[in-house]
Amino acid sequence: MVIKMINFAWTIPLLPLLAFLIQLTLRTKGKKLWVSWIGVISTFLAFLYAVFLLLQSFVWNRAITDWKVDWLHIGSNVITVGASFTPIQIAMLFIVSLVSCLVQLYSMGYMKDDGRSNTFFAYLSLFTFSMLGLVISPNFLELYFFWELVGVCSFLLVGFYFDRESAKQAAKKAFIVTRIGDVGLFIAICLLYWQVGSFDFAVVKQAVDTNQLSAGMLTLIAILIFVGAVGKSGQFPLHTWLPDAMEGPTPVSALIHAATMVAAGVFLIAETYWLFEASPTALTVVAYIGAFTALFAAVIALTQTNIKRVLAYSTISQLGYMMLGLGSLGYGAGFFHLLTHAFFKALLFLVAGAVIVAFRHEQDIRKMGGLWKQQKWLAVMFLIGSLSIAGIPPFSGFFSKDEIFLAVYHSGRYTLFVAALLAAFCTAFYMFRVYFLVFTGKEPGEKTKSLSWHFQVPIWILAFFSIFAGFVQFPSHILGEWIGVTESSTLWWIPVAVTLIALLGVFLAYAIYQRRWVSAAKIAKYSGFGYRLSYRKFYVDECYQAVFVWTLKGLGWILMGWDRFILGGVAQFIKLLPRQLGEIGSFLQNGQVQRYLLISIFGTLILLLSITAGRLIG
């Protein structure tokens, strides 16, 4: 039985796919409750399977059987489709199926009153299928296949409230901006194919190990793959879609835009890490982009007033940390942070969703306050998430962040180290700014809405993981050993520094937003331009609008004029040139088939004549 289950591990994504098909068929007829349970149960089964695989691999060190069948022919080359199960893939299976299952359960509460909730659950199942498929892909082409599919699911779910103009624009932006990144990955895949002759990770890895690729080509390919990751994981300069994606329902933000899909970029780099290890230049690029994004997004998050946007920028910033870790040769550190982040960020989003529901769909943190007195458990949960992301021991975020700092320090790039420290300070500050604004202060006049068990159970479970997930790496490095990383020597002062700077951020937020020793408005006023820069997100959207959108529009109008008047004019000219042709045209206008037939016969005659003439010449 056990052996059989190991052999059929590739069937995991089929469960949610089946659920999707059923849910789509039952879209209008199916009872809401049933349709949502179909999704939850299928994902739960996938989760159980993932747990089984995790136990097999993690605890008993058994190899999970890979799977492979012929898929398509490129010329005479056979391309296969399949599944592989390396430790990080199994870890991702666990995270994705767990968070997806919890989010679907949560959505049963959150989407209860929505008329199109059946469609919503169908989309969630489709997403879960695509994401699981992405995770177990053993080759680039299959990965790209699912990579685009998760993108489209994200598009569908961001635009779920399709009648809202903002949701429509956000969905479009999410798809197009990530596609710009995807093209990088696309080119990398094509180049690799002609260099190596295969899409398989294993084959490409071997080619890299045996130096079949030139150094320049390697760097180019690695950077192009990174461009794909930049788009998906919301790294600068392709980060602009992620905050806008918050137009989607909050459970979607938790699942897709925090825990799983946006981490796919980081996962991709982790999975093809041998490529990056072979190219120091590419690693440097990854590290710098990551560090810059971490700080940049954290600074923006300081001043945002929409609770979901703060969390969105925080996600971008944390993804930047992961990239920084990977770029600093901290393979284990980057992946470890992906794992802990999935839990605490999903937790924060789900709590934020609950808060939004409690305040009757208000998202502006300035209009919230005093929730602590009415819903204590929510406050505690949010606090757990905040402490974890801020990096306060012993919460999970502390351990993973600490490893990243260690890796950066060992890489010797001290500028990046300082940038990361600053970002950590900002992280603690903006999270606790939200915390104090939402949960402390004046109680809301209206009684806030109480929340059903669908909200509570997923939040409790995620809180559990947010607290304890860190212990897979501390005190003993079992995660690192499992994914095959040798541990580097720890330095005692790094965790201390990280904790202190986080506490400083918390304290500052406490001083400004709880005690109100200093007025936030005054600070904003005195920091003037700096505040505006942060509040307006460094005007990146405006720049893109001016540079890309207007250029494309202008070009469109110019070419339209050219096409209509110049080419159209030439067409008119050609039409007039042989007058006879025109006359034949008017002759034909009476629409009599006989006349046209006559002309055809005439044409055939010319054909015959010319052939005869040709014979005379030849």
Binding site for another protein (CB under 8 A): 71-76, 144-146, 148-149, 152, 159, 162-163, 165, 167-168, 171-172, 175-176, 179-180, 182-183, 186-187, 190-191, 193-194, 552-553, 555-557, 559-560, 563, 567-568, 570-571, 574-575, 581, 585, 588-589, 591, 593, 596, 600, 603, 607-608, 610-612, 614-615, 617-618
Is 33 or 190 the residue whose CB approaches another protein more closely? 190
Least distance from another protein to the Cβ atom of residue 96, Å: 19
Is 507 or 562 the residue whose CB approaches another protein more closely? 562
| Angle subtended at Cα 160 by Cα 156 and Cα 163, rounded to the nearest 5 degrees | 125
Least distance from another protein to the Cβ atom of residue 122, Å: 11
Is 187 or 491 the residue whose CB approaches another protein more closely? 187
Q: Quick one: 392 exposed, middle or buried, by C-beta within 10 A (0-12, 13-18, 19+)?
A: middle
Least distance from another protein to the Cβ atom of residue 332, Å: 31
Least distance from another protein to the Cβ atom of residue 231, Å: 11
| Residue type for position 302 | L
Could you tell me which of 316, 161, 313, 169 has the C-alpha nearest to residue 232? 316
Is 142 or 402 the residue whose CB approaches another protein more closely? 142
Is 48 or 597 the residue whose CB approaches another protein more closely? 597
Is 511 or 577 the residue whose CB approaches another protein more closely? 577
Least distance from another protein to the Cβ atom of residue 220, Å: 10
What residues have CB less than 8 Å from 423, skipping those under 6 apart? 291, 294, 295, 298, 317, 320, 321
Is 18 or 524 the residue whose CB approaches another protein more closely? 18
d(CA 15, CA 38): 10
Least distance from another protein to the Cβ atom of residue 203, Å: 16
d(CA 184, CA 221): 9
| Cβ count near 332 (within 10 Å) | 28
d(CA 103, CA 458): 7
Is 210 or 586 the residue whose CB approaches another protein more closely? 586
d(CA 231, CA 253): 17
CA dihedral for 202, 129, 127, 452, sign (positive or negative): negative
Helices of type H across 245-330: 250-254, 264-271, 273-277, 280-301, 307-327
Least distance from another protein to the Cβ atom of residue 121, Å: 15
Least distance from another protein to the Cβ atom of residue 119, Å: 8
Alpha carbon 394 to chain centroid, angstroms? 28
Alpha carbon 308 to chain centroid, angstroms? 16
Is 530 or 556 the residue whose CB approaches another protein more closely? 556
Give the end-to-end CA distance of the chain in Å, rounded to a whole number: 80
| Residue type for position 211 | N
At 366 the three-state DSSP class reads helix
Least distance from another protein to the Cβ atom of residue 263, Å: 20
Is 214 or 527 the residue whose CB approaches another protein more closely? 214
**To the nearest 5 percent, what fractions of the chain are helix, strand and coil?**
75, 5, 20
DSSP string of 93-146?
HHHHHHHHHHHHHHHHHHTTT-TTHHHHHHHHHHHHHHHHHHHH--BHHHHHHH
Least distance from another protein to the Cβ atom of residue 594, Å: 12
